[in-house]
Structure 1
Amino acid sequence: MTTPTTPDARTPQVVFACRANGGRSVASRLLTEHYAGGRVVAISAGTEPGEHIHPEVARVLESLGLDTSRESPKLLTTEMIAESDLAITQGCGENCPYVPGARYRDWPLDDPKGQDEAEVRRIVADIDTRVRALVVELVPDLDLPPSLLAP
């Protein structure tokens, strides 16, 4: 039996924006992809992208089973925001482009750059909680997998 689809049914898209696109936004994107299982398009970008993702963040994400090998910082553009259903800002401040009509939500998160493993894990756990709630909001009928950070 197939499930009928409506012509206006589409996959929601979220852009996660931080300053360097090396920590918070990357973790948010990868966690969203993991939990949403293809039912949400997640992109990440930064207002001042660095050269690579922060190694301390990559180590924590890899320890959770998330592949960071294809991640590279990208510049946040007005087009990315305009094409998304929601823009989640994470410390990009006044440098974050404003797009009239776009939906924004700010997640005040600590910057994991240069932090020790315990602090990075705490920040990733905060992001995990927020992402899980966001995925359920965007895809209410999703059978949400267990948290990667569950004991």
Structure 2
Amino acid sequence: MTTPTVLFVCVHNAGRSQMAAGWLRHLAGDRVEVLSAGSAPAGSINPVAVEAMAEVGIDIAGQQPEVLTPEAVQASDVVVTMGCGDACPFYPGRRYEDWALDDPAGQGIEAVRPIRDEVRRRVEELVASLA
């Protein structure tokens, strides 16, 4: 069986998509190829997202926001979008999920923790659906 590739996409690729990628790497290990990108990537990852993930033992500090490319979408089996709207390209034959999640940008740690936990819940469901 081939390894499925999951692409997480949000606007800035600095918070939600990075947390989701961190959770998927943590929960699925090498059973899934993990990509993340943004339609308008930020210069750096959200430090509060880094802090929230560090609280649960997942280090995403070394990740860099990446620009979304059509090639990344084409290479993916599952594309999970998080508020990037029409900026996310659509290709037939891909499984798309749109996760409505609050944006952690500009939020304090108390606001980011529930987003982190909701991202984990959804990633767990995603992992189960890929098995």
- With the length of structure 2 as denominator, give the TM-score of the two structures: 0.96
10, 13, 16: which one aligns with 1:21: 13
Q: Which amino acid aligns with 1:66?
A: I
Determine the C-alpha separation between the residues in 1 that align with 2:95 and 2:52.
30
Q: CA deviation at 1:98?
A: 2.0
1:112 equivalent to 2:123? Answer no
For 1:84, the equivalent position in structure 2 comes to: 76
For 2:92, the equivalent position in structure 1 comes to: 100
45, 67, 84: which one aligns with 2:59: 67
Q: Which amino acid aligns with 2:15?
A: G
SS of the equivalent of 1:104 reads strand
Greater share of residues in helix: 2
User: Which runs of 4 or more aligned residues in structure 1 lie more than 6 Å from their structure 2 counterparts after TM superposition?
Assistant: none
Structure 1 residues not aligned, in runs of 5+: 1-8, 140-151
**Residues 19, 60 of structure 2: 8 Å contact kept:** no
Structure 2 residues not aligned, in runs of 5+: none
Q: Which amino acid aligns with 2:76?
A: S
| Rg (Cα) greater in structure | 1
SS of the equivalent of 2:26 reads helix
1:122 equivalent to 2:109? Answer no
1:49 equivalent to 2:49? Answer no
For 1:58, the equivalent position in structure 2 comes to: 50
SS of the equivalent of 1:16 reads strand
1:12 equivalent to 2:22? Answer no
Determine the C-alpha separation between the residues in 1 that align with 2:108 and 2:79.
28
Alignment identity in percent?
A: 41
Determine the C-alpha separation between the residues in 1 that align with 2:80 and 2:16.
11
Determine the C-alpha separation between the residues in 2 that align with 1:93 and 1:16.
13
Determine the C-alpha separation between the residues in 1 that align with 2:104 and 2:75.
28
Q: CA RMSD in A?
A: 0.9
Q: CA deviation at 1:99?
A: 2.0
